[in-house]
Amino acid sequence: MLSSFYIVFIAVGLHATIHCFPGTQDEGKGNDVNNSPPGNSTIHKMSTNNADFAFNLYRKLASENTGKNVFFSPVSVSSAFAMMSLGARSDTQTQILECLGFNLTEMQKEEIHQGFHHLIHTLNLPNKEIELKAGNALFIQKQVKILTQFTTDVQKLYESEAFSTDFSNISAAEQKINNYVKKKTKGKIVDLIKDLAPDTYMILVNFIFFKAKWEKPFDPLETRENGDFYMSQSDVLKVSFMHQIEEHFYFVDRILNCTVLQMDYSRNALAIFVLPDQGQMKTLEDTLMSTTLRRWNHLLQKGLVNLYIPKFFISASYNLDTILPGMGIQDAFTNRADFSGISEHYKLKISNVVHKAVLDVGEKGTEAAAVTELRMEWRSASVHPGALIVFDRPFLVMILDKSTRSILFLGKVMEPREN
């Protein structure tokens, strides 16, 4: 009998720009992804693989969601599939690891798993100023024998929890998993699992939660409502724009026809916003690589920026089982799948891979009374010194962890709706 299991990814990215929190200023160069203090060499070696996988998956998602917001957590997807490769064998295992960007002649499987172990452990280190938690959980059918080596490895290397679950009681199983998800995402994602099949064998839930304060927060009194955001030349959306005049790292890329802005969080994390020139989004998307990030890192310069950027909330959900076969993970979703490293008694394949991510950008607790309701006019850079950067058309956003050089979240804001 061929059994199947679900993989569910949940990624929650929240950052609140709390005006009363001053933060501290980091005088470091660029985005610090390549200038962070020396850490585990394998993590840094893997950062290139993880970044290239992130951009490859982004292009797939963007091409199949034309005109829509795109948002996901690359580190979530790659770490969960690397974890599942522990139980994969033969071509199934090779396809997973090569899709994730690893050359198995240059990096041994043991080194890959150790790298992810250090990555997850580092992301989960306590930090008073940033809430960052990443992990996995296995919900396994009661009475089903899982190989001890697999459960030991996923718990040791990927900090995964394991729960015995009675999938014959569908409502109880759904409630158990959804309660876990709700708790881990601080209530931001509820009722994720629906319509479970009674013959479900195992569910893997992968989650990442991120919440941080800007190092240089926005003043809610500077937010302007009813600004024009041009989703296209003919489609204009009225949005609230946050505004500040502060020093940030930025760079006008004449080769890729875009403007790159770095905004730091209070500690060890940063956001990169990329504004393509008019009509240049597709060209930019097609050229993004890990080398692009390294190049920007060396070229970013600190200067005064007269910045307008929308408050926005984006949410996206994807069935990656329809995306990943086109990227090379083929056998895992078919009867050719070999997950004999998970169970010797069941012939397994992956049936569903669900990924959901949300991002909320704006001042925490902003009230309508705190903003002006007049039509916004951009303040001239000649009146206010500094480079005028106005994110009034679709742009890319990345959130990175400095210490591991990892892209935690990656996306495109086509329609910046407020939460």
pLDDT (tens digit per residue) in 92-138: 999 999 999 999 998 999 999 999 999 888 888 877 777 777 777 88
Region of residue 264 (phi > 0: left; psi between -120 and 50: alpha; otherwise: beta)? beta
Q: State the Cα angle at 142 between 138 and 145, rounded to 5°.
A: 80
Which CATH code, of 3.40.50.720, 3.40.50.460, 2.70.50.60, 2.30.39.10, is assigned to 220-311+372-413? 2.30.39.10
Q: How far apart are CA 339 and CA 132, in angstroms?
A: 31
Percent of the chain scoring above 90 in pLDDT: 43
Read out DSSP for 16-37?
Answer: E--TT--------STTSTTTSP
pLDDT (tens digit per residue) in 303-342: 999 999 998 888 888 888 889 999 999 999 888 999 999 8
Contact between 104 and 97 (Cβ < 8 Å): yes
Question: Residue 4: what pLDDT?
Answer: 43
Alpha helices in 252-289, H assignment, sequence order: 281-287
pLDDT (tens digit per residue) in 132-150: 777 778 888 887 788 899 9
Q: Where are the beta strands (DSSP E) in 234-296?
A: 236-253, 258-264, 269-276
Is residue 301 over pLDDT 70? Answer: yes
Nearest C-alpha neighbor of 284 from the set 65, 62, 13, 33: 62
DSSP-derived 3-state class of residue 322: helix
Long-range contact pairs involving 172-180 (C-beta distance under 8 Å, separation at least 24) = 173/139, 173/200, 176/139, 177/8, 177/139, 177/203, 177/205, 180/137, 180/205
Question: Residue 417: what pLDDT?
Answer: 83
Fold of 2-213+313-360: Antithrombin; Chain I, domain 2 (3.30.497)
* Structure token digits, residue 45: 């070696």
Residue corresponding to tokens 């959306």: 237
> Count of CB atoms within 10 A of residue 368's CB?
8
Domain ranges of the chain: 2-213+313-360, 220-311+372-413
